[in-house]
Structure 1
Amino acid sequence: MIAKGWTFGRVGRLALLSLGALVFLAPYVFMLSTAGKAQSDIFTSALSLVPEHFYYVANFAKALARVPMATLLWNGVLVCGLIFFFQVLIAIPCAYAMAKLTFRGARMMMVLVMLGLLVPIHATALPLYVAFDSLSLLNSYTALVAPFSISVFAIFMFLQFFRAMPDDLIHAARLDGMSELGIVARVIVPNAWPAVTAFAIFSVVAHWNDLYWPLVVISKQGYATPPLGLMYFRAAEAGDDYGALMAATMIITLPLVAAFLLAQKRFVEGITMTGLKG
């Protein structure tokens, strides 16, 4: 018997959501399990998520000893933070101008933004690599940050959010004598935090997990980002120790999990409010 207030539709939706959550959590659960196993326990015919012998301390100690984990995490935080800072700094004024100002070329700018969403980093990797090489900027934070400083996705996302903001708020600011830059700094930005937080999740996750571009421009371990650092880990002596490798992967993914759990309310608010008005 179904409890009062519950319907078959609601039970079905909860079951479907639970199944989806299980599918998405399965790789992380498997990683957590493998990080606590000895090598002999990993390569067995029987699949068991609970380790027979707990090797968490040993595996985490190996992970911290074989690669400069603190350097990898610092590089990831620095690169993702700089990319996000410049993306927001550029995208908010651009999106505000396209959403609230009338000028020639606004439609063409929108077309260019939409076209920009279709261009992957792989298409521009070769000319960017040649340019950075000619400027002697390979193996630097500049090479990791500069190509992503302008995000057309951020412009598009903030554009949708700003279109939903009431024009009366901006007209009142103009009557108070604010300049357009003052309106952006004192009116738009304080009201755009839900969208900024939502975009932060997309930006940080994408660039924290990015392996392709760091693999192209970085060859020195001192500038390696977390995913590239895992490749160095696998190339190290006894790199087939998957228990230690999974422990290193857990250390690298924990900051993302913690950040998302802390910002999930703002993330949902930003996504919801961005889609209010097309």
Structure 2
Amino acid sequence: MTSTGFTPGRILRLLVLILGSLIFLAPYIFMISTAGKAQDDIFTSALKLIPTNFYYIENIAKALSKVSMGTLLFNGVLVCGLIFFFQVLIAIPCAYAMAKLKFPAARIMMLLVMLGLLIPIHATALPLYVGFNSLSLLNSYTALVAPFSISVFAIFMFLQFFRAMPDDLIHAARLDGMSELGIVARVIVPNAWPAVTAFAIFSVVAHWNDLYWPLIVITKQAYFTPPLGLMYFRAAEAGDDYGALMAATLMITLPLVAAFLLAQKRFVEGITMTGLKG
């Protein structure tokens, strides 16, 4: 009969997990705490997580008065949504072809995908900027979306998932007279939702928090993404308003937290099915 009590080993594992959770959550906890403090309360010698006087309403009101939060959130959702749509639209057929079709260039394509994983956006930022500038596409949604529309990480991730799918399913669809595009649309995509959901978390979080590329190609406030909008709170002479900054950051990160909590089950399923099978 197995014991269901707390053994020393289980207690140790729980303590390690709790400690790890606190370490990872510490920045977010500090952000929530700072969002409710006055400027004088932030710069005290004693570190207190619970504010002496709660200034959440004041800091949120100040944040909303400094930036157009609706525009920032709209731009963030639009840009992340378009990037994710094009990434999935391109990655699924590419991954299917590499996983289930036999053609001479398959190994070369796999090599290119692996090499693509090693190239950061910083290495291609200058030629991309010059190209968008010559096409007069700076300060546009195109400049924000186009460089990320093809994701080698998405191709690699879906490739691992499709390799685990039974070949008999594909052969049966071909016997029914389906074309390869029909198989992708009617067989592959309906079965790929766990992988798509898992990749959605990676893609949305990465591009929602991206400051580097928008800072290069965007100067008009109408196209500012959420991280770019936080730069409104910088004030070299008067000092940075950290209370309002943390309040704005809290409002910007809440959609990501809510999305992850809603999709965490499928996220774990997708990571398990794509990461452990090859």
Q: Does 1:139 align with 2:108?
A: no
Instruction: Structure 1 unaligned segments of length 5 or more: list them.
Output: none
**Partner of 1:32 in structure 2?**
32
One-letter amino acid matched to 2:247? A
Tell me what 2:249 maps to. 249
Check 1:237–1:81 CA distance in 2 against 1; reply closer, same or farther (3 A cut): farther
Give the fraction of aligned pairs with identical amino acids, expressed as a percent. Answer: 86
> Match of 2:72, as an amino acid?
L
CA gap 1:234/1:199 in 2 versus in 1, 3 angstroms: same
Measured in 2, the distance between the counterparts of 1:225 and 1:247 equals 17
Once residues 50 and 125 of structure 2 are traced to their aligned partners in structure 1, the CA distance between those partners, rounded to angstroms, is 43
The question of 1:216 aligning with 2:203 is answered no
Letter in 1 for 2:265: K
The 2-side partners of 1:32 and 1:108 are apart by 49
Mapped partners of 2:75, 2:237: distance in 1: 23
One-letter amino acid of the structure 2 residue matched with residue 8 of structure 1: P
Change in Cα spacing, 1:188 to 1:212, as seen in structure 2 (3 Å) is same
User: In structure 2, what is the Cα distance between the partners aligned to 1:147 and 1:236?
Assistant: 33
How far off its partner does 1:134 sit?
A: 0.2
Question: Take 1:4 and 1:68, find their aligned partners in 2: how far apart are those partners?
Answer: 53
Kept after mapping to 2: 8 A contact 1:233/1:239: no
Look up the match of 1:13.
Answer: 13
Task: Give the distance between the partners of 2:119 and 2:39, measured in 1 at CA.
Answer: 43
Whole-Å separation in 1 of the counterparts to 2:101 and 2:17: 42
Aligned residue identity for 2:89? L
Q: Against the structure 1 CA distance between its residues 168 and 237, is the aligned structure 2 distance closer, same or farther, given a 3 Å change threshold? A: farther
* CA deviation vs aligned residue, 1:45-71 (integer Å, no higher than 9, x gap): 111111111111110000001011110
How many angstroms apart in 2 are the aligned matches of 1:239 and 1:193? 47
CA spacing shift, 1:256–1:9, aligned 2, 3 Å: same
| Coordinate RMSD, CA, aligned | 1.3
3-state DSSP of counterpart to 1:165: coil
Distance 2:201 2:226 in 1: 17
Q: Is the 8 A contact 1:87 1:150 kept in 2?
A: yes
TM-score, normalisation: structure 2: 0.97
SS at 1:255 equivalent: helix
In the TM superposition, what whole-angstrom CA distance separates every residue of 1:56-88 from its partner, at most 9, and x where no partner exists? 111000000101111001000000000000000
Post-superposition offset of 1:14: 1.2
* Residue number in structure 2 paired with 1:263: 263
Equivalent pair of 1:66/1:236 in contact (CA under 8 Å)? no
For 1:67 and 1:20, the matched residues in 2 are separated by 35
TM-score by length of 1: 0.97
Report matched runs for 1:33-48 at 5 Å: 33-48=33-48
Q: Offset of 1:40 from its aligned partner? A: 1.2
Give 1:276 deviation, angstroms.
3.7
1:64 corresponds to: 64
